Chain A
Amino acid sequence: RKEVEQDPGPFNVPEGATVAFNCTYSNSASQSFFWYRQDCRKEPKLLMSVYSSGNEDGRFTAQLNRASQYISLLIRDSKLSDSATYLCVVGFKTGGFKTIFGAGTRLFVKA
């Protein structure tokens, strides 16, 4: 089993749609959780951290379920500019600090 698993997609949605991505992780000692977005041939950029209580940033809502070891990202009112690959990232301390990236979920938002 991969340490961080995501549905690779692609998700093809029309503008204005609501889309949700899930991510599962295997290490129960994981402490930090993030969603990054990566555009084609560019570096990942932090979209948002994920907190146990859930958090929202504009059209984006992230949630964490520690018991089931999954993280979700909800995008409301999708825009064309939301088209990208969304990476689920999990961090944990093992001696030093280590982060594991999921393979990403591709999203295409179409007019």
Chain B
Amino acid sequence: GAVVSQHPSRVICKSGTSVKIECRSLDFQATTMFWYRQFPKQSLMLMATSNEGSKATYEQGVEKDKFLINHASLTLSTLTVTSAHPEDSSFYICSASSGGGDDTQYFGPGTRLTVL
């Protein structure tokens, strides 16, 4: 149980384009989803936390207009990187938590974004 999928697993795009990443909890309802970014040889950095049906909470330094997060249902959250630039190239990972006293996060397999 507790499977989280992410799509796509890898994307290469041109500078200035927008990229959408989907995160799905396959066998449980995720009241909270988290989006992280990880640059090579660095730790996971939390970008934002989203609760189903409400606006995401962004961490300091993360531009909410650049990284659009939508948590439309209890099993789906999307991250859209708008007008991507080479410095946005990174490994983006989502995680989901069912809440209800269980704080465990289950991670998706990640999306490797390369912006040319």
Contacts and interface: CB of A to CB of B under 8 A. Distances in A.
B49 interface: yes
Contact of A104 (B34, B43, B108): B43
Contacts, number: 49
A111 to B, nearest CB: 25
Interface stretch (A21-29, A36-44, A54-62): A36-44
B28 interface: no
Given A31-B103, A41-B91, A44-B44, A99 B109 contact: no
B104 A46 contact: yes
Contact of B103 (A41, A95, A97, A104): A97
B26 to A, nearest CB: 15
Contacts of B112: 41
B100 to A, nearest CB: 11
Contacts of B99: 97
A41 to B, nearest CB: 7
A98 interface: yes
A31 B103 CA distance: 9
B67 interface: no
